[in-house]
Amino acid sequence: MFDRRLIQNFDWFILLILLGIAAASILNLYSATFPIRDQGGSQVFIRQIYWYGLGFGIFLMMTTFNYFTLERMAYPAYVFSVGLLVLVLLIGKISSGSQRWLSLGPISFQPSEVVKITLVIALARFFSEKREFKEYRLRDLWQPFSMILAPFLLVVKQPDLGTALLLVLVGASIVFLAKIHWKSIVILITSILVLAPFVWIHLKPYQQRRILTFLRPDMDPLGAGYHINQSKIAIGSGLLWGKGFLQGTQTRLHFLPEQHTDFAFSVWAEEWGFIGAIFLLALYFLIILWGIYIARSSKDKFGAMLAVGITSIFFWQVVINVGMVTGLLPVVGIPLVLFSYGGSSLVATMAGLGVLMNIRMRRFMFQ
């Protein structure tokens, strides 16, 4: 028999916020692709509408079962997603110098988006099962570190440094929540600093140039620094109220690169100004607060860890993209979650948010 308390605990306000972000995204994509509508721009806009329809369907579907099912499926799902990453390196489609896509007939998707969710579920299960530790030391964490390291190395190989770093940040968010002994934290940070030069020499030349340009924006204004310079011009020229819908000159004249993907926020800020940018960020902030609230109010450890992991995926993608397009962080190719064009990211994110809603709806089970 259907339990009416599930409907009572469904957060309709969050659904309204998601619809608001979807509407803003579609409006922004229309503007971003308007100058190239004769070269397939209109298809980008229409495909995103379809992706949103699928995303909301999956969001609702993820609320229909007890989320403890995910705990039982955690490790097999993680292994399967890592297997997809291996498959990408063997038969994946190459685009713009990166091998990130698997094709299933007419549909292509990025397995790295799937592994974000499965990694969170696997780590949540690991820490919910380990109740004997009051504070973890490094020797107790070899398993979660291995879970993070495997997809990290495979995604770096594609190469996709931005997503690889995102996996580390998401994994670290869950690990630190599990309470690590302070001496282990010091050792971990020291190890990262010592290994940094070795990581640097293994970066590809374009990745090194992006970091150097971040440190010295005037070093190569027409090369590696072009993207971020044009982005900052677009954002700054929006002033308080923006130039108006379809009136962004950086977008119209094609000065702004990747304007429907990585730099979609720059298009929005140019046309809607500081007020529009703050409004959009406020919607993201409300979703992040909602995820934190679910984690804090969860009565079981698996639900709390799962909520923290999914919220951290959302949080870090917003922070990295907004920091990237405003020049506060290096350009690493992370799109703005739920806003930039892209089906794999959108569907994976909506599935994760559906799990968050699932946890909230079933909190009465522990009262």
Q: At what angle do helices 68-91 and 111-129 cross, to 10 degrees?
A: 140
Report the distance separating Cα 154 and Cα 144, nearest Å: 16
pLDDT, average across residues 315-340? 89
292's CB contacts (< 8 A; 6+ apart) are 307, 308, 311
Q: Which of 142-151, 180-189, 211-220, 230-239 has the highest mean pLDDT?
A: 142-151
> By CB neighbour count within 10 A (0-12 exposed, 13-18 middle, 19+ buried), where does 5 fall?
middle
pLDDT tens profile 161-215: 888 889 999 998 998 887 777 777 787 788 777 777 776 676 667 666 667 666 6
- Per-residue confidence band for 107, with pLDDT thresholds at 50, 70 and 90: confident
The H or E element containing residue 204 is none
Asked whether residue 61 carries a pLDDT value surpassing 50, the answer given is yes
- Per-residue confidence band for 38, with pLDDT thresholds at 50, 70 and 90: low
The H or E element containing residue 322 is helix 301-325
Enumerate the domain spans of the chain: 4-366
pLDDT tens profile 285-322: 999 999 999 998 888 889 999 999 999 999 999 999 99
pTM of the model as a whole = 0.89
Report the distance separating Cα 294 and Cα 300, nearest Å: 11
Phi and psi angles of residue 221, each rounded to the nearest 5 degrees, phi first: -65, -25
Asked whether residue 1 carries a pLDDT value surpassing 50, the answer given is no
342's CB contacts (< 8 A; 6+ apart) are 51, 261, 335
* 159 upstream amide cis, omega within 30 of 0: yes
Tokens 């109740």: give the residue. Answer: 131
Asked whether residue 20 carries a pLDDT value surpassing 90, the answer given is yes
| 102: helix, strand or coil | strand
Q: Determine the longest span between alpha carbons in the chain, in angstroms.
A: 66
Asked whether residue 359 carries a pLDDT value surpassing 80, the answer given is yes
Asked whether residue 366 carries a pLDDT value surpassing 60, the answer given is no
